[in-house]
Amino acid sequence: MSVYQKLFAHGLALGDEAQHRIYGSRKRQLFSHIAGTVVEIGPGTGVNLPYLPDDMH
């Protein structure tokens, strides 16, 4: 893995952490009532996955 790739991955991880801090509580509220099957278009790093209920498909 190149230095650029490592820096890029680190930047993405920092961005995900910031998203969790800023939007985490709101996403928990919004996603708590979702049921059934979810298709997320362009999930990127999967930043929304931790907020989906465990029984989601």
Per-residue pLDDT tens, the chain, 57 aa: give them: 899 999 999 998 898 899 899 999 999 999 988 888 989 899 888 889 899 888 888
Task: Please say whether the beta carbons of 20 and 47 come within 8 A.
Answer: yes
Rounded-to-integer distance, Cα 53 and Cα 32, Å = 6
CA-based nearest residue to 47, from 56, 27, 29, 8: 27
Entry pTM:
0.69
Report CA 2 to chain centroid distance, whole Å: 25
What's the pLDDT score for residue 54? 86
- In degrees, to the nearest 5, what angle opens at C-alpha 48 toward C-alphas 42 and 51? 155
